Structure 1
Amino acid sequence: MQQLDEKAIDIVIAWVDGSDPVLKQKRESYKPSNIVASDAITATRFASDDEIYYNIASIIKYVPFCRHIYVVTDQQKPAFIDEFAKQNICAADKIRIVDHKEIFSGYEEFLPTFNTRSIETMIWNIADVSDYFIYMNDDFFFNQSATLEDFIEKDKLILHGHWRNTAALNAKLNFRKTKSKLLGTPIQPRHTIAQMLSAKVLDMDQFFEIHHFPHIVDKTILKNYLLQHPQLLETQIKYKFRDVAQVNPITLMNHLKIQKSQAHLRADIAVNYLKNEDSVESFLSNLDNSDYKYGCIQSLDRLNSDSYQKVTAAMTNKFSAYLPSSLLTSAN
């Protein structure tokens, strides 16, 4: 068992600016000519509407035990990212940009990739990242103060979720595979299927399903398993876009920890989740609700103008003391 150093817990965030014309052109050039599942290539999957700044501000405000924040990108950089340090919002070395070329060191042949699951599979390869780190999508944020004990207790990871049987979901997947062969219809690479498959590769007949909030990762157990199973590793990272054949690497790590009795399993946790127009009002009211430790802003680009302004104004207000001045100016 690794020794936990409270001062060495890093946070890793996967980020992409899908509106970047260079990246858009690169993505289009690699898009398969055959029919692809819409969930893998939809524009909103690559959209960026300042969520990364709210995410980082929330970490600085609410996560005092975070050492470094690693932002994983593809030859990109959030426009205002350097202002956090320049304006003394955080230490000069707090935020570090990590390119895909670094995390795919030794596996450069699989680049470029536009696939979150491929990227998540390789985040253990970040140089100097802590043995335990927290992984977040760029649209996650901390809604209230967090402690290390929210993630690790007595050298065991704390995992929030619930058990689900694999049989029914696997039967559905097999039906869709058959339908796909007959009709040529693509299979949507659903989040739940990837979680189920991450248990199936370990011969588990149930899986511990998790949802959209920050997750603690044991770098060593994930790294060792993938390196010991090179065929799985290559299958994971060979797809340019999300594919139904891929497992969820975070839940793969979770299931490995569960099998080794190195995890505390806890019930699902409430998340302040902005999913669509219908959830805007509840999302806004829960920004100050201590029952919601984490938040997720999904598909902000799909809101109407009024809702968009309400959400961005509320988020800017919540984290105003921790946001770059350029962002505050642009929000007004």
Structure 2
Amino acid sequence: MTAAGEEQIDIVIAWVDGDDPQLKQKRARYQKTINAASDAVSSTRFASNDEIYYNIASIIKYVPFCRYIYIVTDGQKPQLIDDFAKQGICAEDKIRIVDHKEIFAGYEQFLPTFNTRSIESMLWNISGLSDYFIYMNDDFFFNQPAAISDFFDADNMVIYGHWRKNALLQAKLKYRQSLQKLSGKPVQPKHTIAQMLSAKILGMNQFFEIHHYPHIVDKNLLKDHFLRHPQLLNTQIQYKFRNVAQVNPITLMNHLKIQQNDACLKPPIPINYLKNENGVEDFITNLHNESIKYGCIQSMDLLEVSPYQHITTAMVQKFADYLPSSLLLDSGQ
């Protein structure tokens, strides 16, 4: 992948409006029949607080090499999404809604799903998606201008992270699984465990841990691996909610790249990461820090009213020229 193909890079965002009554009802119906871990069914995991609009505004503002933005949803659509095109913020076909039914075409028996890892495992099935694409959660955003060199070094895919040994996490997992047999309480599907397992299934005794960045993905590499290992794919997408048995499909693809010597590994870089209200002031300050490329607003729904309003005002001010006008009016801009 070279700079000449910049215009071919798409961005995919997984999004859900957890407050939608129909979706809540559907989710609750399956929760009753499945003994899922508490982390996997927590309401904050499905909450939506306008982060999707900040995410899209940041792409339009800071990612000139983005071709299309695909928003992956479950029979939903962000309420203000059409306003981006209607107000001339982007081209009419820039933002595309993709339903779970499309990405699970041929695998419909695994729907519905409320599981990010299952959804990520099927992104390669988006029709017309670029061979390389950037994947983001809906609470991510670009904090500063992006360049194609952030994702490719010559023909190698850039991965930011650090190596960790499998052994300690494997021991912790075995211990928790033994406790599960005694208590019946499911093991929490931790992010690091899923990353470790994605390396382990490839015979690696260490894994390259990644954090809350937009990640570049080789669509065909992930697709070909899953199609060559149908049992792995079926096992991966069978869970309605996140399960400790699942691998992280993005790091699975990363480890395949590493094994092929097609990856440029770089150390972690700073993230403007809001975890709770203790970090609100630093987060707002870092919105203007040119050395911090990416941001993430986690669990915004758990903030008190005052810090919530501070974050909303700061985000609207940062992306004012790229947001639907109704968001500006709501924030008093």
- TM-score over 0.5 for the alignment? yes
Moved more, 171-180 or 29-38: 29-38
- 3-state SS of 1:146 partner: coil
Q: Which residue of 1 aligns with 2:149?
A: 149
The answer on whether the counterparts of 1:4 and 1:155 sit within 8 Å (CA) in structure 2 is no
Residues 238-253 of structure 1 aligned to structure 2 (within 5 Å)? 238-253=238-253
8 Å Cα contact 1:163/1:208 also seen in 2: yes
Aligned to 1:326: 326
Give the whole-Å Cα distance in 1 for the aligned partners of 2:65 and 2:128: 17
The question of 1:22 aligning with 2:22 is answered yes
In structure 1, what is the equivalent of residue 31 of structure 2?
A: 31
- CA shift, 1:154, in A, is 1.3
State the partner residue of 1:316. Answer: 316
Task: Give distance in 2, aligned partners of 1:7 and 1:272.
Answer: 27
Render the CA deviation track for 1:193-250: whole Å, top value 9, x for unaligned: 0000000010100000000110000001000000000011001100000000000000
TM-score between the two structures when normalised by the length of structure 1: 0.98
Query: What is the TM-score normalised by the length of structure 2?
Result: 0.98
Q: How far off is 1:180 after superposition?
A: 0.3
Alpha-carbon deviations, 1:109-133, whole Å to 9, x = none? 1000000000000001000000000
User: Structure 1 pair 87/310, CA: closer, same or farther in 2 (3 Å)?
Assistant: same
Query: Structure 1 stretches (4+) deviating beyond 6 angstroms?
Result: 1-4
1:96-245 pair list within 5 angstroms: 96-245=96-245
Q: Structure 1: how far apart are the matches of 2:277 and 2:33?
A: 33
CA–CA separation in structure 1 for the residues paired with 2:34 and 2:119: 23
Letter in 1 for 2:182: L
Q: Say which SS state the counterpart of residue 287 (structure 2) adopts.
A: helix
Q: How well do the aligned residues superpose, as a CA RMSD in angstroms?
A: 1.2
Partner of 2:271: 271
Displacement of 1:165: 0.1
Q: Secondary structure at the match of 2:227?
A: helix
Please state how far the C-alpha of 1:2 moved relative to its aligned partner: 9.7
| Mapped partners of 1:172, 1:247: distance in 2 | 16
Look up the equivalent residue of 2:254 and give its one-letter code.
N
Report deviation, 1:323: 0.1
Cα distance change, pair 6–34 in 1 and its aligned pair in 2 (3 A): closer
Aligned 8 A contact 2:140 2:213 in 1 = yes
Aligned residues: 332
Q: 1:141-185 CA distances to partner (integer Å, 9 max, x unpaired)?
A: 000000011001211100000000000100100011111011212
Equivalent-residue separation in structure 2 for 1:20 and 1:209 (angstroms): 34
Give the match for residue 55 of structure 1. 55
